[in-house]
Amino acid sequence: MTTATTATSTSTSTSEEVSSAADIGALTVDARTGADRVRPRFATRTKAYGGSSIWTDILGLLKQHPDPIYFGDGSPAKEAIPLDLMQEASQRVWANALDVLAYGDQQGVPALREVIARRMDRLGAKVDASEVLVTAGSTQGIELACRVFLDPGDVVIVEEPTFLGALETFATYEATIVGVPVDEHGMDMDALAETLAREPRAKLIYTIPTFHNPTGTTMPVERRQRLVDLARQHNVAILEDDPYVELRYDGEAVPAVKAFDNRVIYLGTFSKTIAPGIRTGWVAAPSDILAMMLSAREVMDISNDRITQRTVLEAARTELDDRIVHAREVYRPRRDAMLGALAEYMPEEVTWSQPEGGFFIWITLLASFDVDTFAHAAAAQGTVFFPGDWFYHDKSGKNRIRLSFSTVTPERITEGVRRLGEAIRAELYG
């Protein structure tokens, strides 16, 4: 329905008169229809949404080869998703669903929170079910931490590089993002100490200490202890994002950072052990912080899907652990294939991380390398990945590449890395 200019409108211009001026005071005229057209007056924070979508970029890269091998995926392998377990669980839950379809379970189904608390015991963290909030993935956990802690201009300290989704959330909250370098053992604690001393507005330290995204590295015990000490000393909250911890392929388990200080805000998820499409994660936090996050969450979207919560509960109560054992057997040969292929096909100047778990290997090239132009050359050769600069808030890291091995078979991994090696050689030696 097209609505013409009405009696109550203050605009007396015809569409012709205003066609040369896009904006007449508060009113904008749509030249196509001549009708008044409200110009949205967006909030300041929407500047964070201005850039082009990475998915547009990735889709463009995937179109450059008839059979691209995609090392960008952060999803679990289809072979590792416990589909039959979820199918059966879903049927049982729907059979008794009538009483759980109204509003409710804002904090999460109590039995699911209990199961989650017991899973956290294994990480050395003593968590009561009352300290758990079920969330729409750990992405919503990051969102909730921002909501209860961040005023515009507050400082969030992040590992450099870090998960790009978290960078987007922090930008949405108009935070100042300050990076701390990582080495093969995670965040540099001396650099963190200096940063904390310099940034009185620091509110959050965001860390992915185990099988880090994108580098694949794991922070050892000593650094975890130092991290909680520093955070406590400066009264800054730690946000521990731990999606990959159950996917360890070798080496010894390290306790969660939360095991060193129960004040840590811990984010867990079933996205990597079941599937991301079911949007089920959790926050474990001390009760004063959790109460605030729960209030925020109830206002935001009330609760997780109540049927899915119970479906996850049924799966977790029964065979999920066995399926995770199986999942590790899916991923280990993929990681090994990638490490083997890198050793075989990469030129000498190239180095990479040696992850004991998770989904990612991080490649470092010569400082002069420009990954953004190279990504196109590599795509033309049939290998697509996430350019390293996407994981830096200042878009540095142009000599880095993140490779994910989770959704690619060992044979395809070998072929993809071979193609990548060729593309790198062509780039380096012309």
Query: Site residues for a second copy, window 363-422 (CB under 8 A)?
Result: 407
| Nearer to a second copy among residue 306 and residue 419 (C-beta) | 306
Minimal distance in Å, beta carbon 76 to a second copy? 8
- Number of residues engaging a second copy in binding (CB under 8 A): 107
* C-alpha dist (Å) from residue 211 to 90, 184, 208, 259: 31, 11, 7, 17
Instruction: Report how far residue 69's alpha carbon sits from residue 378's, in angstroms, rounded to the nearest whole number.
Output: 10
Structure token pair of residue 275: 């599937």
Q: 202: exposed, middle or buried (C-beta count within 10 Å: 0-12, 13-18, 19+)?
A: buried
Q: What is the identity of the amino acid at 291? A: A
Structure token pair of residue 357: 């778990």
Q: What are phi and psi of 322, to 5 degrees?
A: -60, -40
Instruction: Report how far residue 380's alpha carbon sits from residue 401's, in angstroms, rounded to the nearest whole number.
Output: 16
Q: 60: exposed, middle or buried (C-beta count within 10 Å: 0-12, 13-18, 19+)?
A: middle
Task: List, in sequence order, every residue forming a beta bridge with 267; answer none if it has no partner.
Answer: 241, 283
- Candidates 61, 81, 132, 156; binder of a second copy (CB under 8 A) is 81
- Candidates 20, 66, 95, 367; binder of a second copy (CB under 8 A) is 95
Q: Is 194 in the site for a second copy (CB under 8 A)?
A: no
Minimal distance in Å, beta carbon 412 to a second copy? 17
* Residue 187: strand, helix, or coil: strand
Q: Helix and strand tally (H, E) in the chain?
A: 13, 17
Residue found by looking up tokens 């590992």 in the block: 159
Minimal distance in Å, beta carbon 149 to a second copy? 6
Instruction: Report how far residue 284's alpha carbon sits from residue 173's, in angstroms, rounded to the nearest whole number.
Output: 22
| Nearer to a second copy among residue 19 and residue 287 (C-beta) | 287
Binding string, residues 325-364; x marks residues near a second copy by CB under 8 A: ----------------------------------------
| Nearer to a second copy among residue 188 and residue 305 (C-beta) | 305
Q: Identify which range of 78-86, 323-331, 358-366, 386-394 contacts a second copy by CB under 8 A.
A: 78-86
- Candidates 195, 303, 381, 383; binder of a second copy (CB under 8 A) is 303
Q: Which of 215, 165, 227 is nearest to 358 (CA)?
A: 215
Q: What are phi and psi of 366, to 5 degrees?
A: -60, 150
Contacts (Cβ under 8 Å, ≥6 apart) of 223: 185, 186, 187, 189
Minimal distance in Å, beta carbon 399 to a second copy? 27
Minimal distance in Å, beta carbon 101 to a second copy? 4
- Candidates 299, 348, 368, 394; binder of a second copy (CB under 8 A) is 299
Q: Identify which range of 155-163, 258-266, 332-340, 378-386 contacts a second copy by CB under 8 A.
A: 258-266
Minimal distance in Å, beta carbon 222 to a second copy? 12
Q: Strands 237-241 and 265-269, how do they pair?
A: parallel
Count of C-beta atoms within a 10 Å radius of residue 275: 18
Residue found by looking up tokens 């959330």 in the block: 169
Helical pair 371-380 and 410-429, crossing angle rounded to 10 deg: 120
Site for a second copy in 30-49 (CB under 8 A): 36-46, 48-49
- Candidates 278, 284, 320, 403; binder of a second copy (CB under 8 A) is 278
Minimal distance in Å, beta carbon 250 to a second copy? 25
Q: What is the identity of the amino acid at 355? A: P
| Nearer to a second copy among residue 140 and residue 195 (C-beta) | 140
Minimal distance in Å, beta carbon 371 to a second copy? 23
Instruction: Report how far residue 288's alpha carbon sits from residue 110's, in angstroms, rounded to the nearest whole number.
Output: 18
Site for a second copy in 46-65 (CB under 8 A): 46, 48-49, 53
Site for a second copy in 197-226 (CB under 8 A): 203, 225-226
- Candidates 108, 276, 355, 416; binder of a second copy (CB under 8 A) is 276
Binding string, residues 99-128; x marks residues near a second copy by CB under 8 A: xxxxxxx------------------xxx--
Site for a second copy in 3-22 (CB under 8 A): 3, 6-11
Site for a second copy in 124-163 (CB under 8 A): 124-126, 135-137, 139-140, 143, 147-151, 154
| Nearer to a second copy among residue 233 and residue 351 (C-beta) | 233
